[in-house]
């Protein structure tokens, strides 16, 4: 595949193990999920554990094996194409990509709500939409910088994320020690998942565990896929679980469930458990963390558009790289434009808080479906590429085909359960019909967009020959070879 060859030649390898771990956490971990889960009471804890066992672990094992087998740019797009064919590869890549549009449309509202909490103010709808657009395009501007510069930002903010997590947890523990837990402890609720009462929490958990495959979109930019990939999944998942569990517990211990805001509750709890001014400081800090997380999203997902251009599913313009930063500029900009249109169109129709949750429900439903494109390929890969498994040394799921089938079955059942509880069970206090209409409408809109992209993008891209569509990228390889030490030595001699 073109995308397994060209990016290796023209993109800089800058992603270290620590940087990848930070990117992994920023892509997957949305601490607002702890607010939603904490509002569900102690039953949130077994739901977190169940989601980790039925989705995060199977997904992590699957993507490490496939990422080692095909360590190129594009991740799930390559894996699905190699095992299921070109059309399915596009569908898998699209389902994995489209969440960046929904997330970038909803997350600026989350940033804004934390800033409003910090400064104790409110805004009108028009002003709110304008500020959300400013936040979104600030993120786009950051994403256009060099990946090495973005990685340095991620590394620093990742440490800040850890400090914030410990602050929320420690304040919650201190409050509970002095006053008793605001959410009374119940052993049964804390150990047995209650689907009859809180089934929606399972769908919520899976939403906040999605994205395991995403860093592999940048496979050609890893310093070493086979070394860093498994470590990224292991350390990143450990950090992810710690952040979610500690912040959920810290929030529950400080506030009763009916007083926890589904978006800002995790920071609002510090207004009770922390010292004066701590909540405001942490709200600003978390707003900054979310901006960096959104930047990471834009960077990682733009690579899928770039790959689609290389494979001629999209016109040549989407393979355009900035000569200085080596970033796919057109891809990042089109993501910003699409998210802006959704943001303006939807937020003008309903309240900011409700639409944020509606978008997350639609995001969860669509994104979960992409999981089938890194679960099922495992079975095909083991059979179709048996010679590579026999002749190469890399991490693979232990237990042979039995181990693979266990991972696929558990992951598939978890994914189906997540889709069901994301679509059928409201995450907020609205009628089920209203919830399903919004989530179904958003999901359907994303599928229609995918069909349009496939049909018209493919038609447009195939008007240009493969050689012509790649000709402009040869310039990058020429410039790269001219700046190597050997070329300087030869010029000097």
The reported pLDDT for the residue numbered 62 is 95
Confidence of residue 94 (pLDDT cuts 50, 70, 90): confident
The reported pLDDT for the residue numbered 378 is 94
The reported pLDDT for the residue numbered 488 is 40
Structure tokens belonging to residue 136: 């979104």
Q: How many CA within 13 A on the CB side of residue 156?
A: 8
Confidence of residue 59 (pLDDT cuts 50, 70, 90): very high
> Rounded to an integer, what distance in angstroms lies between the CA atom of residue 111 and that of residue 126?
16
| CATH class belonging to 2-470 | mainly alpha
Please count the other Cβ atoms lying within 10 Å of the Cβ belonging to residue 31: 23
pLDDT tens-digit series, residues 371-404: 899 999 999 999 999 999 999 888 899 999 999 9
Query: In this structure, is the dihedral angle defined by the CA atoms of residues 117, 122, 127 and 129, taken in order, positive or negative?
Result: positive
Biggest CA–CA distance in the chain, Å, is: 78
User: Where are the chain's structural domains?
Assistant: 2-470
Query: In this structure, is the dihedral angle defined by the CA atoms of residues 131, 293, 6 and 212, taken in order, positive or negative?
Result: negative
Average model confidence (pLDDT) across the chain: 86
**DSSP codes, 303-348:** HHHHHHHHTTSS-GGGG---TTT---HHHHHHHHHHHHHHHHHHHT
The reported pLDDT for the residue numbered 467 is 59
The reported pLDDT for the residue numbered 387 is 93
pLDDT tens-digit series, residues 182-222: 999 989 888 988 888 888 889 889 989 988 998 998 888 88
pLDDT tens-digit series, residues 141-158: 999 988 888 889 999 999
pLDDT at 476 over 60: no
pLDDT tens-digit series, residues 81-91: 999 988 888 88
pLDDT tens-digit series, residues 325-358: 888 888 899 999 999 998 888 766 556 667 777 8
The reported pLDDT for the residue numbered 351 is 62
The reported pLDDT for the residue numbered 219 is 81
């Amino acid at each position: 595949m073109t995308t397994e060859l060209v990016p290796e030649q023209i993109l800089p390898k800058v992603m270290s193990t620590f940087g990848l771990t930070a990117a992994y956490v920023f892509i997957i971990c949305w601490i607002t999920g702890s607010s939603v889960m904490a509002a569900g009471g102690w039953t949130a804890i077994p739901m977190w554990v169940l989601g980790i066992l039925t989705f995060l672990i199977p997904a992590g094992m699957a993507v490490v094996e496939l990422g080692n087998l095909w360590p190129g740019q594009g991740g799930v797009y390559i894996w699905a194409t190699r095992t299921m064919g070109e059309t399915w590869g596009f569908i898998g890549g699209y389902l994995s990509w489209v969440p960046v549009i929904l997330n970038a449309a909803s997350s600026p509202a989350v940033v804004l709500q934390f800033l409003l909490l910090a400064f104790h103010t409110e805004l009108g709808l028009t002003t709110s939409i304008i500020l959300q657009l400013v936040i979104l395009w600030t993120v786009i501007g950051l994403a256009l910088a060099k990946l090495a510069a973005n990685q340095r930002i991620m590394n620093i903010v990742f440490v800040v994320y850890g400090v914030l997590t410990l602050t929320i947890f420690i304040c919650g523990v201190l409050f509970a020690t002095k006053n008793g837990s605001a959410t009374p402890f119940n052993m049964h609720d804390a150990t047995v998942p209650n689907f009859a009462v809180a089934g929606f929490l399972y769908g919520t958990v899976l939403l906040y565990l999605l994205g395991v495959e995403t860093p592999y979109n940048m496979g050609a930019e890893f310093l070493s896929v086979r070394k860093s990939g498994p470590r990224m999944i292991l350390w990143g998942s450990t950090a992810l679980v710690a952040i979610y569990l500690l912040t959920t517990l810290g929030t529950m211990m400080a506030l009763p469930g009916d007083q926890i805001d589904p978006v800002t509750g995790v920071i609002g709890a510090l207004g009770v458990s922390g010292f004066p001014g701590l909540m405001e400081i942490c709200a600003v800090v978390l707003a900054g963390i979310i901006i960096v997380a959104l930047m990471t999203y834009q960077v990682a997902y733009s690579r899928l558009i770039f790959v689609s251009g290389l494979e001629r599913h999209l016109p040549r313009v989407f393979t355009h790289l900035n000569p200085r930063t080596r970033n796919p500029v057109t891809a990042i900009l089109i993501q910003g434009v699409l998210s802006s249109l959704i943001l303006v169109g939807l937020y003008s129709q309903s309240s900011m808080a409700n639409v944020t949750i509606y978008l997350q429900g639609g995001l969860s439903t669509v994104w979960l479906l992409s999981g089938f494109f890194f679960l099922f390929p495992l079975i095909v890969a083991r059979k179709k590429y048996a010679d590579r498994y026999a002749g190469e040394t890399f991490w693979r799921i232990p237990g042979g085909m039995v181990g693979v089938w266990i991972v696929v079955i558990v992951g598939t059942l978890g994914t189906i359960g997540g889709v069901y509880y994301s679509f059928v069970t409201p995450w907020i206090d609205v009628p089920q019909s209203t919830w399903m209409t919004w989530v179904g409408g958003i999901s359907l809109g994303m599928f229609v967009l995918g069909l349009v992209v496939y049909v018209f993008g493919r038609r447009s891209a195939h008007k240009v020959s493969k050689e012509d569509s790649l000709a402009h990228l040869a310039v990058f390889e020429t410039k790269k070879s001219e700046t190597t030490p050997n070329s300087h030595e030869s010029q000097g001699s």
